[in-house]
Structure 1
Amino acid sequence: MKRVDATDKAKNLIQQLKEKHGDLMFYQAGGCCEGTQPQCFRKGEFYLRYKDVCIGTIEDIEFWVDKDLFEYWKHAHFELDVIDAIGAGGFSLEVPLGKTFKVNYRIFTQDEINLLDEVKLNT
């Protein structure tokens, strides 16, 4: 069972960004301001911290989260979405398009928890 997925609207924006920027990555921190929303970067242009967690992929793009955020949200499904707005951060690749990625969360059922895909740690 996947821990992360995306709306069609988010997938369409991802395809636009891939065409323009090439290989991408997502990162979501647990801090304040822009750290609370997912950020999209060219792959390798954001340096992961020790034990950050890849919770899965969206359109073949790894979605990484801060290790502490993962501990807090490990029982939740992340659904990547996009809205027409400029979020608190200005570093994510969608910002110049007047868009902001956001995550909708829902708690997994016990049956889903038993079927979850493994995560990957940055070591």
Structure 2
Amino acid sequence: MADKVVATPAALAFIEMLKVKHGPNMIFHQSGGCCDNSAANLYMEGEVMVFNDVKLGELGGIPFYISASQYEFWKRTQIIIDVVEGGLGGTFSIEASEGKAFIADSRLFSDAEWADLVAAEPTLDN
């Protein structure tokens, strides 16, 4: 079954470096725009509240969340996280101090992938 969120090898290696530097208690949150540039932001646990947000999965052992309302627009896509030098990630995101930014790309799930996801989680197709 396809994962709802994945990371490139470069992003996974960078996540591991950040875990060594900051510890493993972090969370990803896909921004909805405004002042944090619609980026995939990485925070220390407790810096961001994830009340009704949807957990899409984990990247390098770090949970990845998106707001429930934004998830409705993204649920038929796989989110692909990469890391770039410089970039315009969120200024409050942990990686900003390293001069890098996480970016989110996406692709539509194939019909077969979507059917597998819905079979595992029937409420997806509402």
1:69 match: 70
Higher helix share: 2
Q: Deviations over 1:2-44 (max 9, x none)?
A: 1111001101110111011112110013232415111001122
Give me the whole-angstrom Cα distance separating, in 1, the residues matched to 2:34 and 2:115. Answer: 32
Cα root mean square deviation, aligned = 1.5
Q: 2:33·2:39 contact (CA, 8 Å) conserved in 1?
A: no
Aligned residue-pair number: 117
Equivalent in 50, 65, 71 of residue 48 of structure 1: 50
Q: TM-score, normalised by structure 1?
A: 0.87
Alignment of 1:1-123 (within 5 A): 1-22=2-23, 23-49=25-51, 51-87=52-88, 89-116=90-117, 118=121
Q: Against the structure 1 CA distance between its residues 88 and 24, is the aligned structure 2 distance closer, same or farther, given a 3 Å change threshold?
A: closer
Amino acid at match of 1:56: G
Q: CA shift at 1:113, angstroms?
A: 0.6
Q: Which residue of 2 aligns with 1:121?
A: none
Rate the CA distance shift 1:68–1:25 in 2: closer, same or farther, 3 A.
Answer: same
Q: Is the 8 A contact 1:24 1:42 kept in 2?
A: yes
- The structure whose Rg is larger is 2
Q: Where in structure 1 do 4 or more consecutive aligned residues deviate above 6 Å?
A: none
**Structure 2 gap ranges (5+):** 122-126
Distance 2:79 2:95 in 1: 19
Structure of greater relative contact order (alpha carbons < 8 Å, 6+ residues apart): 1
Contact 2:37–2:88 (CA under 8 A) maintained in structure 1: no
